[in-house]
Structure 1
C-alpha cells in the first residue's frame, strides 16, 4: 500500500478521455476517480482499458447510488459487488454522498436528509454497516441540494459533523457544493468551510455548475470552475491545509489538454498551502 500525497491533483476517469490518456497521461494528473456503478459489470475493451490504468495509476471510487440516508434497506448486493471491484483493482478509498437518492425506486436526484438527532444515529449506523461490508473506512461528501431539509433541528454543518463523529468516518469536502448551497440557501461559504472538522477531511472535489437564476445554481459538473470557487478552494486550503483534490467534469467534456489546465491550477494552488494537511491510502 502506498499513500497518495496530500498535495495531489486528480481527474475523473471518463470513457471519452481514454484515447487521449492512452497517448500519454499528463504529469499534472496524480490520480483518477471513477464511479464504481459505471464500471462494475463492464467487460470487453473498456474493462481491459480500465485494468491497464488501475495497474499503473492511483484510483479512488466515488459512489453514486448507495443512498446512505434512504429509508429503504442498504443494497448489500451492490455493496458486495463494490467490495469485489475495489479489491480487484486494489482501490483502497471509497466515498459517497451524504444524502439519499432512492426509496422504492431511484429518484434520480440527491435529496437532503432531515437534520435531526434521529437521522444522525440512523445514517451513522448505516455507514458503520457499509464500512464493515466494504472492509474499508469511507468518506462522506457534503451534497448539493435544491430544497431545504424537511426537518431541521440543527444546521447542515452541525449535521455533517455529528454524522462523521457518530459513524467514525471521514469527510469528502466538495468545495463547489459548498458554493452552490451557499447561493441557493443564502449562507456564508467561508463560515461553512471553517465549521468542517479538519482532522476528518481526506479528499476534496472541484467542479463547474450552471446558473439557473440569480439565486439558483445547478451542480452540473458540465462547465469550467469559476473564479469564486477557485477562491473558495484557496480559503479551504488556508483553513484546513491541503488534501488530494479532484476536478469533476461529467458533461460537455472538453479535450484533455483543456481539462489539464484546471488540474494544473489545483496543483499550483496546493503548492502555496503546504501546511498541516491530510491524505489517505489510495492503493
Structure 2
C-alpha cells in the first residue's frame, strides 16, 4: 500500500540560514526541505530541525535522485530517504523530472529528451523508487532551456510519465510561466491540460528576466504578478491545493517571506469563499 500525502494550506522552504527564527504556526502551515541537506545532520542543526518537525508538517523535495540519468538509481540514497521519512514523520517526497548526474553529479537540472522511449525509461525508475519507499512520490515539472531530441511536447511528455508511472505531480506554477515565455506556448492551456487528480501540491517562486523572451528560474526574487495570476488560475481550474513558496538565495527577513506566504493564503481563501457561496446557492 502506497502512503498518500497529507498537507494543506501554505508553506515555504526551510533553509539553515533561518536557524533561530521563531515561526508562528498561524503564519505557515507546512515546511519543505531537501533531504540531501539534512540526512545525517546532528548537533545544534539536528536539534533545531527536530524541534521544527515536531511543530510543523514537513515535505521533502529532493535534489539528486536524477530520475532521468543513464546510470543506475542510487538506491542507497532512496533507503536513507525512507529512513528519514519515518524518523521525522515526513508527509511526502517529491523530486524533479530531470537528471543531474552521469558518472558524477553535474550540479544542474538537465532536461530529459521528450520521447516515448524516455517516458518508458523514466516511468520504470519512478515505480522502482515508489516501491522501495512504499509510498507515492510527486514529480515536478521543471524549467528547461533546450529540448534535445524532442519528439513530443513538454505537456505530452509530462502527462505520459505521470500516467505510465502512476505517480503524482508537484505543480510548479513559476516553471510553467518561465517555460511558456522561453518556448512560446500558452501557460493557461498547459495548466488546463494537467490531470487534477494527480496534483499533490504546488510550488511558486520568483525568477530572473534575462530578456523579454528569456526568463531564468532562480528562486532568488519575489513572485511577480503574472505568476500570482497563474496561481489564481490554477486554483480556478484544479481547486485550492497546498502551495509552497520557494526562495533559495537573496533570502529576505522572515516577515517579508511570510508576506508572500500570506498572499498565497489570501488567494486560497478567495476561492474557498467562492466555493462556499456556490454551494449555498444550490
How would you bin the TM-score normalised by the shorter chain?
A: over 0.9
Determine the structure 2 residue equivalent to 1:90: 89
Measured after TM superposition, the shift of residue 166 of structure 1 is 0.6
Determine the structure 1 residue equivalent to 2:12: 11
1:129 matches 2:167: no
Greater relative contact order (Cα < 8 A, sep 6+)? 1
The separation in 2 between residues aligned to 1:102 and 1:85, in whole angstroms, is 23
Measured after TM superposition, the shift of residue 25 of structure 1 is 2.0
Determine the structure 2 residue equivalent to 1:267: 265
The 1:93/1:3 distance shift into structure 2, 3 A limit, reads: closer
1:187 matches 2:188: no
The separation in 2 between residues aligned to 1:154 and 1:147, in whole angstroms, is 13
Partner SS for 1:165: helix
Q: TM-score, normalised by structure 1?
A: 0.93
Measured after TM superposition, the shift of residue 4 of structure 1 is 4.2
Determine the structure 2 residue equivalent to 1:231: 229
The answer to whether the 8 A contact 1:28-1:267 is kept is no
Long gaps (5+) in structure 1: 277-283
The 1:198/1:234 distance shift into structure 2, 3 A limit, reads: same
Determine the structure 2 residue equivalent to 1:163: 161
Determine the structure 1 residue equivalent to 2:196: 198
User: Once the two structures are superposed, what CA deviation does each residue of 1:51-77 show, in whole Å capped at 9, x if it has no partner?
Assistant: 111012100000011010111100011
1:109 matches 2:108: yes
Partner SS for 2:55: coil
Determine the structure 2 residue equivalent to 1:220: 218
- Where does structure 1 differ by over 6 angstroms across 4 or more consecutive aligned residues? none
Measured after TM superposition, the shift of residue 215 of structure 1 is 1.4
Aligned-residue Cα RMSD (Å) equals 1.6
1:46 matches 2:27: no
Determine the structure 1 residue equivalent to 2:149: 151
User: Once the two structures are superposed, what CA deviation does each residue of 1:170-197 show, in whole Å capped at 9, x if it has no partner?
Assistant: 0000000101111111111111101111
The answer to whether the 8 A contact 1:124-1:167 is kept is yes
Measured after TM superposition, the shift of residue 136 of structure 1 is 1.2
The separation in 1 between residues aligned to 2:236 and 2:48, in whole angstroms, is 38
The 1:2/1:169 distance shift into structure 2, 3 A limit, reads: closer
Measured after TM superposition, the shift of residue 254 of structure 1 is 0.5
Determine the structure 1 residue equivalent to 2:280: none
The separation in 2 between residues aligned to 1:260 and 1:193, in whole angstroms, is 26
The 1:125/1:209 distance shift into structure 2, 3 A limit, reads: same
Q: TM-score, normalised by structure 2?
A: 0.93
